[in-house]
Chain A
Amino acid sequence: MVNAKSAVPVYEQIKRAIKLAILSGRLEEGDRLMSLRELALKLTVNPNTIIKVYDQLETEGFISSRPGAGYYVKLDSSRGRKREQSLFREITQEYIAEALHLGCSIEDIIKEISSLNLEAILIASKKDNGND
């Protein structure tokens, strides 16, 4: 899950994966997140990295901690759709940067997006949510 080659720092990669899981509903309100130790062990990353991830997720209104009991998904509802939008923007920017990097032009990218079979993607994403 963690890409060692990416210039995106590891804590940023983990943070984004958790945000995606929460915003897409794979992790639901009230679900308990893995403990610092469990997640650090699972990913073999420095526990300090996980502390940073959870701290930032808490500040950004994705999770909350209960002293002694761990971390839970708790979306701060006052922030509305802004979070989805900013995550979407981040992913899009990276996708476009990657495509430009591969030598595509902006026109190529737009052409590619409009030629996509959106119906198939919608069905796939529904299946995805259903499975988890």
Chain B
Amino acid sequence: MIDIKGLSFSYGKNRVFKNFNLQIPDGQVCLITGINGVGKSTLLRLMAGVLRPDQGEVRYDAKLGADPRRKIGFVSDALSLYESLTVAEAIGFHKSVYALSLFDDSLVQHTKIGYGQKVRELSIGQRTIFHLSLILSLEPEVLLVDEIIHSIDAYLRRIFLEQIVSLLSKRRMTVVMVNVNFHDIEHLIERVILLKSGEITVDENIDDLKAKVKKIVGQNQPTSLNVLSRIDYSDHSEFFVYPFNDRLRETIKGDVVDLNLTEIVSAFIGGEYA
């Protein structure tokens, strides 16, 4: 389990988290989302140990051992890694640092990465895939994935996701992803956490969330429901509501429309910009 307790963090005078708490059980695939600048990536960095909290702590299970960072894989495009080495040299170095006997090259094989290429010459997508292979060869118990999926093309993204699905079917691994756009990852996600002003405003299991957030298309705002955001058209409006309740269907004037995860998150985030 990842146990975040009483965590506070500021960038200078800009406070991002104050007494923040979150628990993520082993083997859960979790999505952290929210508007730009809300601190999603900062939280991930704190979890990865790249940043240190001002107060509080991020505690990992005892099973990760004395040095949990070795069992935490952090995939981020902001990390520069072995820039001046060739791919082959970077693999060799990585193996010796971590005393690995094997490097799993199955991911790299799918890309056009050449072993003689310098790491800094790789495209962002290739670099991400290469970085991921280095991380996965350490067989992490926890995989933290920053908002990188946007920067890689559809083909590499598919390979990336397949690799994660494949790993999840072999063994339990906790995955925490940070994202705002997820048509291709939404069926991997078990839990959705929405951040707002340094706090968790939504924390739901994916199936519950889909049952509770709806779009109501009609003339008048439904008075019985909490409206997150609305879009007005000339002759009707769309109201995004949460929490919706099936028993209210009878009383609502207008159509109740189901939403996918991207639409659900947009509804929450749209409300914040309004």
Interface, chain A (partner B; CB < 8 A): 2, 4-7, 9-11, 36-37, 40-41, 43-50, 101
Contact = CB atoms under 8 A, between A and B. Distances in A.
B255 A40 contact: no
A70 to B, nearest CB: 13
Interface residues of B, number: 28
B261 interface: yes
Given A7-B210, A7-B211, A9-B210, A43 B258 contact: no
Contact of B169 (A4, A5, A47): A47
Contacts, number: 61
A36 B166 CA distance: 9
Interface in B25-78: 27, 29
B112 interface: no
Contact of B168 (A7, A9, A43, A46): A46
Contacts of B211: 7
Nearest to A11: B207
A45 B187 contact: yes
Contacts of B232: none
Given A7-B211, A101-B255, A48 B187 contact: no
A6 B261 CA distance: 10
A4 B190 contact: no
B168 A47 contact: yes
Nearest to B27: A48
B258 A49 contact: no
